[in-house]
A and B are shown apart, each in its own frame.
Chain A
Amino acid sequence: MWQIWLLPVLVVGITIALSVPLGIYMASVLDERWRAPALRRWFERRVDTGPQDWKQYAVALLLWNVLTFIVGFLILQFQAFLPLNPDGKGLLSPTTVFNTLCSFLSNTNLQHYSGEVHLTYFSQLFLICWKQFHSPAIGLAALVAIVRGLRGDAHLGNFYVDLWRATFYIILPAALVVGVLLLAGGMPMTLEGNAQVTTLETGALGTDDAGQAKPQEIARGPVAAIVAIKQLGTNGGGYFGPNSTHPYENPNGWTNLLEAVCIILFPMAAVVMFGRMLNNFRHAAVIFGVMLLFMVALLGWGVYWDTLQPNPGLAAQPERRFEVADSTAPGGKIALTLPAVAALPVDQSLGNLEGKELRFGTSAGPTWAALTTCTSNGSVNCMHDSLNPLAGLTPLVGMWLNCNFGGVGVGLINFLIYLVIAVFLAGLMVGRTPEYLGKKVEAREMKLAMLAFLIHPLMVLAPTGLFTATDWGAKSTNNPAAHGFAEVLYEFSSASANNGSGFEGLADTYGFNDNPSPAPFAPHWDIACGLVMIFSRFVPIIAPLAIAGSLAAKNRVPFTTGTLRTDTLTFGFVLFGTIVLLGALTFLPAAVGGPLAAPQGPPPLGGE
């Protein structure tokens, strides 16, 4: 029993301890106030285009993204003709390529392909690994620029220099350390093709046409390099299809602990960095506390409903009676009775084991599910689709809020939007012009904040509605009724939160261009999710940049007794309330139709 709670406590505790020194280091690197060595200055001069205001910064950011999109396209589209392809993988379908590029450009890493099946080693290293390094660095650069604006710097810095420093001085060293530790933990790192092994029991996999026992073909590759950066950069784009459930991508309990720490390390450190850059650790502590509260609550909810409860599909059910509205029936209602169901004789003392691995520890699945969706990581170590119905709310709510630590850099940016809204609401309540960090928050900032806030629910709910109403979604689900709806909802929540995990039963893979039987609506999913990812990535980066630019230009208001303090417990409560009201309630109706209905309601919403 105590082991169940020890694992999450270890993960969160270790990460908090590491995040403080790391955050201070990050601030010192990105916010350079000391004289760097000559060699380093020489390199940085190659990319330095001079001080930028918010518009120039945003243009530089977009330029770099356009360029990497084009280079990424060339790599992925022509992988069949490029080197490092020992297993002879072919051309991908155009929509799979489009989706994958949008996905890795936006730090989402939603995968409508299966790594070990569809990608060559060249694509894995030169597209997946490459993008996973600089897409979190872009988030970090944007955050640093916004902080510079908030504290009133004359300019927001230079995007290229920030990108350079974040990639090479922060993310790269961390990835090297983690990569070596993962190798020590037993992870493969090879350029050899698939291994062919004879099985111990001859013919256990059947025989081929010639009567010979079939070998087991084991996919492998440069796994450790990709997993290290995948975990650290809130990327989540796994080497193998089932991500960190795969024994090569997560060989044992120790690597699982390390990988789980890596999920939240940079997002936590970013908050410390924020405090350091503003020289206001109390304000950062309030933010950190609110984020931690949400994360712990979601984690506890997930572990309680998934590890401490049996899978209800196998357990006993009492007789249930429902009344369903039906205009044709007398009285407008029909009574339904679901008979009692006897339990199957399964010892479920370890909780719901469908889609779980044993070697990580009992509560590892839901713990990871909470961490990976509070941040925008999106890697998984259990199949979220098979989580117990109510436990499935943990990843969904994590992605809907998408600001409790969140993606590297962008998570805190999302949180700052809530913060500006909270300041505004609190200002209205006490009848004063709202201020944040000594700058007046006025109509222009609020319009931009609402734009950044509203894009997320819009990008989740509108396409969910469209796909649910048409065959595109209805014929793509792997599970019946309410849970099927939850699969559609999850996919767009994940795309819009730039998360990348999935209720993976959804049929959304086209794969190779010559695939004779792709998922029927795979192109629809590829294009819709691709567009959602792009909009939900760049609008919430550029709008806050504009807010920062506009705040930077304002005069500082003197601090008086009437000023709303943002470094107190009271303000923490206001923040908490704002996030619950705005973030969670926006999605409540969708939640009721999906994960909340799945275990409760009568058919057609609930049961089989």
Chain B
Amino acid sequence: MMAHLRANLWLLVMTLLICSVAYPAALLGIGQTVFRDSANGSLIAGPDGKPIGSRLIAQPFTGDEYFQPRPSYVSYNAAATGGSNWGASNYLLRDRVARQLGPIVKYKDGRPVAQDIEAWFQKDQFQGQPGIVAQWAQAHSGLAAAWVKADPLHADYVASWIKQNPSASESKLEELAVPFFISYSKAHPGTFPVAVEQKAEKLVQSIKKGIEIQSIFFDMWRQDHPQADLQAVPADMVMASGCGLDPHITLDSALYQLDRVATSRAAQSGRPAAEVRTEIEALLREKAAAPLGGLAGVKLVNVLEVNLALAPRDGAARSSAE
């Protein structure tokens, strides 16, 4: 028994010392001397020397003048990462993709679809039946319930509706979302309730157009217009990565965004849009590379690096224009 005890203790001490101290210390030493930059997270220093991001970690870009990364299920939170884990049979996945598509999709001839969605929405007919909003809530009760929870004003709005309709007396607000929308759809055809900020005050308004209509109802519009000839959007623009921090987009996705970025940057700098576009396209093609030196996959660009490379050009252009 003593022999067993000695062997166990000896192994315990040695494995802890070697596997948990010496081994990581050796790698720490090599990392911090030979690969210092990447061992600390591949951070990129900004003009003031403070880090403005990591080459490996996606950060959000919202402005039109920037290339935008893939959607992130964790809102680009690099301290608590993750993916959607939604399967193909989960409507939440299709809904998220459709909401992103609505405002940006174009017909094959280049016209945007957004206005057509709004015009169709205002007519309030889906598959020949009146009441788009009511049908939306009935088909996707989960989404209707999510709307109630999305904003405290939404919940208040439903609560005041319950007061006027005492027959609806279930306990939870979310469970009343579907009857609420059915009743709302009858009372306010062709509109959708959204909390809007107006003159420092926030209130629920019945809107007829705007980004909410374009995004929420794009999938239904699509089902009413299955024959519409639409341009396909590169999948990585609308499908989220596993960790929510994928730093790359495909070159196709960057080229899809090129017009928006070029137009916006041309407007800021006052230079001709065509010239700016050519310049940025050259930059994209120069920076694009496929994984494993081209042996696997398609050409990608690193969003932060491209946006960084654009920034000084922009500044230089501005100073020369002055």
Contact = CB atoms under 8 A, between A and B. Distances in A.
Interface stretch (A32-40, A246-254, A420-428, A529-537): A246-254
Interface string A1-44: 00100110010000000000000000000000000000000000
Given A201-B62, A354-B86, A479-B87, A345 B40 contact: no
A216 B78 contact: yes
B56 A247 contact: yes
Contact of A224 (B21, B27, B42, B79): B27
A357 B27 contact: no
Contacts of A64: 8, 11
B304 A200 contact: yes
Contacts of B62: 201, 204
Nearest to A221: B41
Contact of B34 (A3, A117, A183, A380): A183
Interface in A127-183: 129-130, 133-134, 160, 163-164, 167-168, 172, 175-176, 179-180, 183
Contact of B292 (A133, A228, A253, A478): A253
Nearest to A127: B20
B195 interface: no
A314 interface: yes
Interface stretch (B89-97, B166-174, B263-271): B89-97
Contact of A340 (B34, B61, B226, B232): B226
A354 B298 contact: no
Interface in B80-125: 80-91, 93-94, 97-98, 101, 105
A483 interface: yes
A129 B292 contact: no
Nearest to A56: B4
A76 B238 CA distance: 39
Given A246-B81, A344-B98, A362-B298, A381 B32 contact: no
Contacts of A50: 3
Interface stretch (A191-199, A266-274, A446-454): A191-199
A222 B24 CA distance: 7
Contact of A598 (B46, B81, B87, B249): B87
Interface stretch (B47-55, B175-183, B202-210): B47-55
A141 B65 CA distance: 60
B16 A479 contact: no
B297 A241 contact: no
Given A60-B4, A342-B226, A242 B94 contact: no
A240 interface: yes
Nearest to B46: A198
A344 B219 CA distance: 7
Question: Considering residues A133, A167, A168, A345, which has the most beta carbons from chain B within 10 angstroms of its beta carbon?
Answer: A345
A389 interface: yes
Contacts of A557: none
Interface residues of A, number: 127
Contact of B38 (A60, A188, A389): A188
A7 B235 contact: no
Contact of B291 (A176, A225, A349, A361): A361
Contact of A355 (B4, B28, B53, B83): B83
B16 A126 contact: yes
Contacts of B304: 200
A520 interface: no
Contact of B11 (A164, A204, A229, A311): A164
A195 B55 CA distance: 13
Interface string B283-322: 0000000011101111010001001100100000000000
Given A195-B41, A200-B308, A356 B242 contact: yes
A195 B54 contact: yes
A67 B8 contact: yes
B41 A190 contact: yes
B33 to A, nearest CB: 10
Nearest to A316: B226
Contact of B295 (A6, A251, A311, A341): A6
B217 interface: no
Contacts of B311: 200
Interface string B33-77: 011001111110010001111101101111100100010000111
Contacts of A46: 6-7, 10
A160 B7 contact: yes
Given A314-B97, A344-B219, A362-B297, A246 B84 contact: no
A156 B44 CA distance: 56
Given A241-B80, A247-B57, A190 B89 contact: no
B230 interface: yes
Interface string A472-490: 0000001111110000000
Contacts of B97: 314, 344, 346
A190 B38 CA distance: 10
B231 A345 contact: yes
Contacts of B219: 344
Interface string B212-228: 00000001001101100
Given A116-B79, A198-B46, A383-B85, A183 B243 contact: no
Contacts of A354: 83-84, 86, 93, 239-240
B156 to A, nearest CB: 23
A344 B101 CA distance: 8
B238 A219 contact: no
A313 interface: yes
A505 B211 CA distance: 29
A457 interface: no
A303 interface: no
Contact of A386 (B51, B80, B86, B238): B86
A117 B80 CA distance: 6
B250 interface: yes
B59 A358 contact: no
Contacts of B281: none
Nearest to A66: B8
Instruction: For the complex of A and B, list the 4 residue pairs with the smallest distance between their C-beta atoms, beginning with the closest.
Output: A361-B296, A245-B242, A253-B291, A505-B85
Given A200-B59, A355-B85, 20 more contacts: A114-B80, A117-B79, A130-B15, A176-B23, A189-B30, A190-B41, A199-B52, A204-B61, A218-B41, A219-B79, A224-B39, A245-B241, A314-B94, A342-B223, A354-B83, A359-B291, A360-B297, A479-B89, A505-B86, A505-B87
Interface of B: 3-4, 6-8, 10-12, 14-16, 18-21, 23-24, 26-28, 30-32, 34-35, 38-43, 46, 50-54, 56-57, 59-63, 66, 70, 75-91, 93-94, 97-98, 101, 105, 219, 222-223, 225-226, 230-236, 238-250, 252, 291-293, 295-298, 300, 304, 307-308, 311
17 contacts: A3-B295, A46-B10, A47-B7, A60-B4, A60-B7, A186-B56, A189-B30, A189-B35, A191-B28, A197-B59, A199-B60, A201-B63, A201-B307, A204-B61, A241-B81, A385-B83, A479-B86
